[in-house]
Amino acid sequence: MSGIIQHNSQAGHSLWGPTDQLGSGNLLTAEKRLAALAQVKHGRVYDVSHEIHMGAPYMAPNQTPYLMSIWSSWKDSVKRRRKMGMRNDAGSNLERIEMTTHVGTHIDALGHFSSGDMLFNGFCAPDVVTDWGLDKLGIENAPPIVTRGLVFDVAGLDGGEHLNPGRVITPDDLARAAHAGGFKVEPGDVALIRTGWGRYFAVDNTKYLSGEPGIDVPGAKWLIDQGIAAIGVDNMAVEVLPNPDHGLGLPVHQYALSQCGVYLIENLALEELARDRISTVCFILLATKFKGATGSPVRPIAMV
């Protein structure tokens, strides 16, 4: 597959019809899956996710801390089962978790962002967003992602170990990284952008959340016009923070999710791939089907 994908970015209408809820997931064809799996030669797996734990960074006020506590312990369950006449003291442990679905390494559903009151493909937010989740464009609609992943390693562009907050990754930066990696973007690929900023995840949360290098709308457009199915970055929000235009809030989210129907993957761990100088992988990501959710924690892997 090749060619430019033309999006009606003003209306945010899907190329795949008025009822479509997959967006760029339609580009993840059987041919793409087979081609990605065929490039695996060594069976080596890179886990490109972070652990989810109490103390992981989160962006207030929309995001809240991840909390986990034991809801029922072995002591409780043994006592309960003894009262029921059971003799083998089978103890079980069960936890309760409070979290948003945008904790740790996660993927955004297409219904996560709007442009005004309009969601992707012309769905109207007042009709779709309920107190109990999304009636359309929830994460349960995101297909399993098995495709070619492309590592755009831009961390060293400014001569350091990482780019700094506010540094915009431009289309030219992405093109240079693709050339250095020896690949060309094809429809259905996933972009994995390494800024180096991920080294501060859960290590220095204050610094990690103080801002970040990332793409702006031109960089997103450059990728999406070539058919990228998802954009993943080793930072908190994919896009540059603060935006150079201080009058704009998260415009890449608006453009990618609500206007183009392209998935965003945040808080990736890409250091090992960079260490081993790997630029193309078989990328596998499956989102848990939380019906109506605006995203899902994930454990993506890269195979070579």
User: What confidence tens digit (pLDDT) does each residue in 250-290 have?
Assistant: 999 999 999 999 999 999 999 999 999 999 999 999 999 99
Q: Is the pLDDT at 34 greater than 60, yes or no?
A: yes
Tell me the mean pLDDT in the region 9-35: 91
**What's the confidence (pLDDT) of residue 4?**
57
Q: Is the pLDDT at 1 greater than 60, yes or no?
A: no
DSSP E strand boundaries for the chain: 45-47, 67-72, 94-98, 106-108, 129-130, 133-134, 145-153, 168-169, 190-194, 214-215, 230-233, 263-266, 280-285, 295-297, 301-303
Q: Please, where are the H alpha helices in 170-286? A: 171-181, 205-208, 217-225, 251-253, 271-275
Q: pTM value?
A: 0.95
How does pLDDT run across 194-239, given as a tens digit for each residue?
A: 999 999 999 999 999 999 999 999 999 999 999 999 999 999 999 9
Tell me the mean pLDDT in the region 6-21: 77
Element (H, E) at 78: helix 74-83
CATH superfamily of 23-61+101-303: Putative cyclase (3.50.30.50)
**What is the chain's mean pLDDT, rounded?**
95
Domain residues of the chain, as ranges?
23-61+101-303, 67-98
Instruction: Give the phi and the psi of residue 231 in degrees, each rounded to 5.
Output: -120, 120
Closest C-alpha among 277, 273, 255 to residue 264: 255
Q: What is the DSSP string of 11-47?
A: TTB-TT-TT---GGGGG--HHHHHHHHHT--S--EEE
Amino acid at 248: L
Q: Cα(first)–Cα(last) distance of the chain, in Å?
A: 22
Closest C-alpha among 151, 160, 163, 122 to residue 270: 151
